[in-house]
Amino acid sequence: MDNTPMRTRLSVHLLRSPARMSILGFALLIAVGTALLMLPASAAESPLGVVDALFMSTSATCVTGLSVLDIGRQLTLFGQMVILLLIQLGGLGILTVSTLLFMMMKGRPTLSGQAIIKDTFTYGEGKQTVTSVLRAIFATAFAIEAAGALCLYLRTAPSEGWRQAAYPAVFHAVSAFCNAGFALYRDSFVGYREDWIVNGVLGVLIVIGGIGFVVITDVKNRFIGGRDRLKRLSLHSRLALTASAILILLGALAILFMEWNNTLSTLSVPGRLLAALFQSVSSRTAGFNTLNTGLMANETLFMLCIFMFIGACPGSCGGGVKTTTIAGLSVAAISRLRGFRRPQVFRRTLTEASISKATSVVMMSAVVITLTVMVLMVSELGGISHTRTQGRFLELFFETISAFGTVGLSTGITDTLTPFGRLTIAALMFIGRLGPMVIGLAVSRELISRIQFAEENIMIG
């Protein structure tokens, strides 16, 4: 008979799985954030209710950016600092934070936990320890955020005041790098839509935060790591950078074409180019906007839904199914059309395991989004005829994709959702941040069955 205390056995069972540890860590952080936001000291007016506090805490922790409040006006400095702290911890990832805490308490993560962290943040045959990996992650993040904050401060201080501009610069730099999309300004950055410096700094922070620490480290090692370093990037980095560049360019061109006589019509030609480029950069992951999303054309909103679904790169601060997932499936399809039996790109062959994982992620994500849209239509529209709710489907669909991709863009319906609708979106942000595959792994069996039956083809297409 096992005499181990029940609580100890439960703790070992939960913490043995990095996926379960990540879920518990995020849930705990959201709970603490909810409690802090419900304090009278957090609200500028009446204290927040539990639903609104939970929604804001989840959105900040999952670095989404959807908001039922004007945080610059309805939250006090204390409340804004709570949001900022949740953004920072959520952006870095609760798994790395939990591991760091274990090390500070002289604990050690399990071998599986170390493997997960090293695989996530040091692609390839890295020989770094978990401690050095964590130090590199935090040092890199804080250095980039500090540089971004300094640039924003120097640009905005002459107009806002040298003392008043410091805090917004830090807040927005952290929010941009973590791809959160929270802004202290009521209209996000619409007021800076023709400011090349502000847009440029925010755009660079968003891109760096969205490509992932894997790619950042790989680029640094390959190009500024000394003469003995190999100059060729890993396949993951090349695929992630190529996919990100293509998506940014296509998004900017599409927005220019579809919004030229709509939301871009009041801007100068250089301003239109800047606004389209910034919106393309921000729409996949960050959620900042310099154009009024609620006034965009239907085709633009639908295109943004596709971009938000794709999201950022693996191991980054952004969400979505990830760029390399879609790139891998695209490579597989193109290779098949070209007559190759295996997917090939950049003189490399993608593994069957990678394509299988990519397919699973996309399928599970599509199922989650479909179910959420159905739930929201029932809770928000209540069986009302579509003739009386024209446009609402696209708005709810857009909100759902934005929540799942942890983007934060909205057509303006977030604060009009029912309490049940807000809880539904909060749950989706939680799932979208952790990823359907992580949720599935957390509740799945740890032992994989080795039973394999005979193969047989089925008709496809």
What gap in Å lies between CA 349 and CA 368, rounded to an integer? 30
Q: How far is CA 335 from the centre of its chain?
A: 29
Cβ contacts of residue 23 below 8 Å, gap of 6+? 434, 438, 439, 442
For residue 102 the two structure tokens come to 């274990």
Q: Are strands 348-349 and 344-345 parallel, antiparallel or unpaired?
A: antiparallel
Neighbouring CB atoms inside 10 A of 357's CB total 14
Where is 349: in which H helix or E strand?
A: strand 348-349
- pLDDT at residue 461, as a whole number: 67
For residue 327 the two structure tokens come to 């790139």
Phi, psi (5° rounding) for residue 141?
A: -60, -50
What gap in Å lies between CA 56 and CA 52, rounded to an integer? 6
- pLDDT at residue 32, as a whole number: 95
- pLDDT at residue 125, as a whole number: 46
> How far, CA to CA in Å, does 323 sit from each of 318, 370, 461?
11, 21, 25
What gap in Å lies between CA 461 and CA 459, rounded to an integer? 7
- pLDDT at residue 449, as a whole number: 63
- pLDDT at residue 102, as a whole number: 45
How is residue 229 annotated by DSSP?
A: S
> Where do the H-state alpha helices sit in 311-351?
323-337
pLDDT along the chain (461 residues), means of 10: 53 55 84 95 91 94 90 93 93 61 47 50 53 79 94 92 91 93 89 92 93 81 61 82 94 95 92 94 90 91 94 84 91 88 85 85 92 93 80 91 91 90 94 73 57 75 67
Where is 290: in which H helix or E strand?
A: none
What gap in Å lies between CA 251 and CA 267, rounded to an integer? 18
Cβ contacts of residue 112 below 8 Å, gap of 6+? 16, 17, 18
- pLDDT at residue 346, as a whole number: 85
Would you mind telling me the total number of residues written for the chain in this entry? 461
Phi, psi (5° rounding) for residue 272?
A: -65, -45
Cβ contacts of residue 302 below 8 Å, gap of 6+? 394
